[in-house]
Each structure stands twice: as structure tokens, then as C-alpha cells.
Amino acid sequence: MIKRNISLRYDLGAESIDYLDIVFRLEREFGIKIPRNELFPEAVLQGDPDIVQNGKVTPKGIEELKEKMPFADLTEFAKNPEVNNFSDLFTVALIARYIEGKLAAGKN
């Protein structure tokens, strides 16, 4: 049984190609379009020193993530915002909240 709080990467072993497959399957199953980097916006953490410094997401970066990922619960991540912990956010529950939001908004 898959639980809502399990990590796609650490508990299920998901890799980059798996994230693409997840997006494809969600689009097909729910009849929605998921723009690139909307569900899994890891690119936001790359290249901007105002967002990431010394391997940690800055307060400005946390705000940026909140804006780009309103479906994510960043509470625990914000306590220890190491970039290496970012993948912990991607859980079954996060995907469920994302899909629920998309369907509620009627975005196809």
C-alpha cells in the first residue's frame, strides 16, 4: 500500500525520467496539462545566488518556492532548507494536492 507521506525519490526510488513519466500519466489520467517545471520545479534552485547560498535555500528562495508551489507544505523544509532536502518535498500527498488544485480550478 502506498502512503501519502512517502517520498518519490527516497522511498520509491524515482529518478528524473520517472518524474517525466509521472507527469505524462497524470496528464493522461486526469485530462489536464502540466506545464514543464510546474509540478517539479527544481530548476528554480539553480543559478540564482539570491535563491541558494552555500547549499541552502535562502528566505527569498523559500518565498519563491511558496509562490511556485502553493500546493507544497514547505514548513519542515524551511526549518532546514538544504538543497539536498528539496526532493523530500515530492511525496504522494504533494501530487494529490497538486491534482486536486488543478481539477478544482478546472485547468485543462
The domain in which residue 100 lies consists of 1-35+91-108
Residues 52 and 81 in one domain: yes
Residues 85 and 95 in one domain: no
Total number of domains in the chain = 2
Residues 51 and 80 in one domain: yes
Lookup: cell for 22: 509521472
CA distances from 57 to 30, 45, 106 (A): 33, 8, 32
The confidence score (pLDDT) of residue 106 equals: 81
Digit-by-digit pLDDT tens for the chain (108 residues) are 778 889 999 889 999 899 999 999 999 999 999 998 899 987 788 878 899 999 999 999 999 999 999 999 999 999 999 999 999 899 999 999 999 999 998 855
The confidence score (pLDDT) of residue 68 equals: 92
CB atoms within 10 A of CB 87: 15
What CA–CA distance (Å, rounded) separates 96 from 43? 21
Residues 76 and 64 in one domain: yes
CA distances from 52 to 14, 55, 70, 80 (A): 24, 6, 19, 13
pTM: 0.85
